[in-house]
Chain A
Amino acid sequence: MKYVDEYRDVHLAERLLDQIRRTVTRPWTIMEVCGGQTHTLIRSGIDRLVPEGLRLVHGPGCPVCVTSLEQIDRALAIAAQPRVIFCSFGDMLRVPGTSRDLLQVRAEGGDVRIVYSPLDAVRIAREHPNREVVFFAVGFETTAPATALAVWQAKRLALRNFSMLVAHVLVPPAMEAILGTRTNRIQAFLAAGHVCTVMGYEDYRTLAERYRVPIVVTGFEPVDLLEGILMTVRQLESGRYEVENQYARSVRREGNLPARNILADVYEVCDRPWRGLGILPRSGLCLRPAYHDFDAERRFSVESVTAIEPAECRSGEVLQGLIRPDQCAAFGTLCTPDHPLGAPMVSSEGACAAYWKYGRSQDRTIPGTSMR
């Protein structure tokens, strides 16, 4: 398959691995920001093929995982209302709120639907003028342009029965929050390639200089990640801290200008709570006053819904890279994909789910077979 196979080429990957092994002379800790990168690393086993001292730490880049419990509870409260059609990306349906999830709301009679594009929710609103259609707008800078387009279109069509529960978050403030903690151990970042496809990477220069960390914008296939790791360790080994772009086939310095324009038209930057990280200043997107009529929080008066995160779940520390998922006492015991305590165990991009799914096996010779 074009644009996939060439970035999974085993020979190329082995050559890059070899170069990484030859470049690394001491231990380094690198964070891959995006959950999609975490999954590729673990699925392809790269985290176990790099030299021993090179630690890869999984970052907060899973939109489902970082959506606060409070916002999930608000979604559940809206979705349970009788006239509402609640539309969401599939990932969010199993994310536990304080006492249930969207799948349970559906089983109890709520009209909860999976959509593949926010524009589908606008279409549903046009088809059901007597129902209230709410779209759950979660995600980073990658999904935000599409939700912005949806609300922009709804306004143009003067749809009175469409609104969005907005939980958008921004990547650079989360990276800065991690770098700013006293416990920080991260020495370099593989920045999220698709976020930079939209936003470009100018914002990262200040971050790289202020905290003296190399930042390499990196893609999602095994060869991308290995090349990103190689570029990062070369910087670390030579004492540089620059912003570099491994994912040049998708990312331009200035990003995608039409996407940035619609974001700026519809959203403004606001403070937002993150699961496990607390409220981060200027880390989220909220609807501008011109779009307040489409704000589900106002329409359904759920601003008063608050929630306390379960104490046993250490997803906050996982999301900051302070512990590995399997270092949490609840991992695999109290917390499994069947009974998730926190979102990182639910989402297909969550670090805990990735560990559960792929990470529980040791690479070793298998007794009784001819396989290596």
Chain B
Amino acid sequence: MTKLQNPLAASLPGACPLPHLAGDRILLAHGEGARLTRRLIREILLEAFDNEFLRPLSDAALLPPSVGRLVMTTDGYVVSPLFFPGGDIGKLAVYGTVNDLAVCGAEPLYLSLGFIIEEGLPLEVLRQVVYSIRDAARLCSVAVVTGDTKVVPRGAADGLFVHTTGIGRMRPGIDLGPHRVQPGDRVLVSGTVGDHGIAILSAREGLDLGPTLQSDTAPLHELVRSLFESVIDVHFLRDPTRGGVSAVLHELGDAAGLSVVLDEPSVPLAEPVRGACELLGLDPLYVANEGKLVVIVAPQDAERALVCLRQHACGREAAIIGEIASMTPPQVLVRAPLGALRVLDEPTGAPLPRIC
């Protein structure tokens, strides 16, 4: 097993041409640092990601000096199936990490890329994922500057796992976090909630919920950038992935020592997601998103923030869904259409579909 940056890479003068050994599937030998590894790196990875930092294929990427503070994040992607309506593991691995940087107030710059590949994965599948990562990285203007591939025996992984680490540059003058959140602040969400989780569930279980059900996998850095460029004083930003909007608001409430009150009818929902949640007994507030923002601003900024979000394709259905309250102990409450308040409990593990 070897690092992607094999120093013996590329063409040694006079070496025998490599036989076309690879066939059409990943073999353990692809991860053992020998010829197949080099071939994989050269023909698939370097070809897709070529840039001045990656090209030397050194053990680590040498990056230029940067002005201001750097932000770093890391995330593993283990989604099954690898391709699903609206996205794939490659897009997820880029956008997920880019979004983690963006919601901290950083402009994404560089990515590392790690693959853990199960022996026997069709080479074509890997190639499709690599192309998807390439396209997603271009869209976000981030460079893949270093990487690693490992191949594990059949059964030791589920096809393909991807790991990315992101480095971004902090925008000057940004102060985000639970310490900024005040009672009366408004809670916004940038669009329909639960799309990703329901799309994955339906792809995984073969539930046919109609062609309009798509994951919302999308990069959010431009949406975040326009919020800052509209001189909106954002107090708190987060992308509600696993655990959904509920998990983000519970974390915020605990950290800030404040409560959150959501207005249930204001939470935007795509019809197929609503239908699936009704059918399966799931609450969309607990379901994962991969292209949404939770934004918290002072009440006087809420309308402007809403207009700003709605100008973007991925923020068209943005809505003000609630408000921060001072009551303690911190809890997340939901006001039902008839006016009664209920507690939105913190999720216990993944939601399980109900019996009837």
**145-200 of chain A: CB within 8 A of chain B:** 194
How distant is the Cα of A93 from the Cα of B207 in the complex, in angstroms?
20
Please indicate the chain B residues that have their CB under 8 angstroms from the CB of A92 in the complex.
355
The prevalent SS among residues of B at the interface is loop
Q: How far is A17 from B337 in the complex, measured between Cα atoms in Å?
A: 14
B274 in the interface, Cβ–Cβ < 8 Å? yes
User: What sequence of 0s and 1s flags, for each residue 332-353 of chain A, a beta carbon within 8 Å of any chain B beta carbon?
Assistant: 0000011000000001110000
**Given known contacts A370-B184, A370-B323, A371-B323, A45 and B355 CB-to-CB distance under 8 angstroms:** no
> Is the C-beta of A305 less than 8 angstroms from some C-beta in chain B?
no
Q: What 0/1 pattern do residues 94 to 121 of B give for CB contact below 8 A with A?
A: 0000000000000000000000000000
On whether the beta carbons of A138 and B355 are closer than 8 Å, the reply is yes
Q: Are A368 and B345 in contact (CB under 8 A)?
A: no
Within 8 A of A (CB), among B300-340: 323-327, 331, 333, 335-340
6 shortest interchain CB distances as A-B pairs: A45-B340, A368-B326, A368-B183, A90-B352, A358-B342, A90-B353
Contacts of B340 in A (CB 8 A): 44-46, 48-49, 363
Can you give 12 A-B contacts (C-beta < 8 A)?
A1-B274, A45-B342, A49-B338, A139-B356, A143-B356, A222-B337, A347-B355, A349-B355, A363-B339, A367-B325, A370-B299, A371-B261
> What B residues does A89 contact at CB under 8 A?
353-355
Interface size class of chain A, counting residues whose CB lies under 8 Å from the partner chain: 35 or more
Instruction: Let me know if B341 and A369 touch, CB within 8 A.
Output: no
- Within 8 Å of chain B (Cβ to Cβ): is A290? no
- A44-60 at interface with B (beta carbon < 8 Å): 44-46, 48-49
User: Do A359 and B352 touch (CB < 8 A)?
Assistant: no
Question: Nearest Cβ distance between residue B203 and chain A, in whole angstroms?
Answer: 14
Min CB–CB distance B108 → chain A (angstroms): 35
Does B229 make an interface contact (CB < 8 A)? no
Given A91-B355, A366-B261, A367-B327, A45 and B207 contact (CB-CB distance below 8 Å):
no
Q: A347 — which chain B residues lie within 8 A by C-beta? A: 354-355
Are B353 and A91 in touch, CB under 8 angstroms?
A: yes
Cross-chain contact B343 with A358 (CB below 8 angstroms): yes
Known contacts A357-B343, A367-B326, A368-B327; A348 and B183 CB within 8 A of each other: no
Closest Cβ–Cβ distance, residue A110 to chain B (whole Å): 17
Tell whether A222 pairs with B183 under 8 Å between CB atoms, given A89-B353, A91-B352, A357-B345. no
Q: Are B342 and A43 in contact (CB under 8 A)?
A: yes
**Cβ of B321 to closest chain A Cβ, rounded Å:** 12
With CB as the reference atom, state the residue of chain A lying closest to B323.
Answer: A369
Q: Mark B123-147, 1 if CB is under 8 A from A, else 0.
A: 0000000000000000000000000
B354 CB, nearest partner CB in chain A, Å:
4
CB atoms of B355 and A139 under 8 A apart: yes
Contact A8 to B343, CB < 8 A, known contacts A369-B184, A370-B323: no
Q: Are A143's CB and B342's CB within 8 A?
A: no
The residue of chain B having its C-beta at the shortest distance from the C-beta of A348 within the complex is B354
Q: Mark A88-100, 1 if CB is under 8 A from B, else 0.
A: 0111111000000
Write out the residue numbers on chain B whose beta carbons fall within 8 Å of the beta carbon of A348.
Answer: 281, 352, 354
The distance in angstroms between the C-alpha atoms of A114 and B201, with both chains bound, is: 12
User: Are B338 and A14 interface neighbours, CB within 8 A?
Assistant: yes
Selected from A10, A45, A143, A368, the residue in CB contact (under 8 A) with B341 is A45
Which residues on A sit within 8 Å (CB–CB) of B335?
371-372
How far apart are the CA atoms of A191 and B271 in the complex, in Å? 30
Q: Is B348 close to A, CB under 8 A?
A: yes
Min CB–CB distance B340 → chain A (angstroms): 2
A63/B184 contact (C-beta < 8 A), A44-B338, A45-B338 known: no
Q: Report A-chain residues with C-beta under 8 Å of the C-beta of B122.
A: none
The residue of chain B having its C-beta at the shortest distance from the C-beta of A93 within the complex is B352
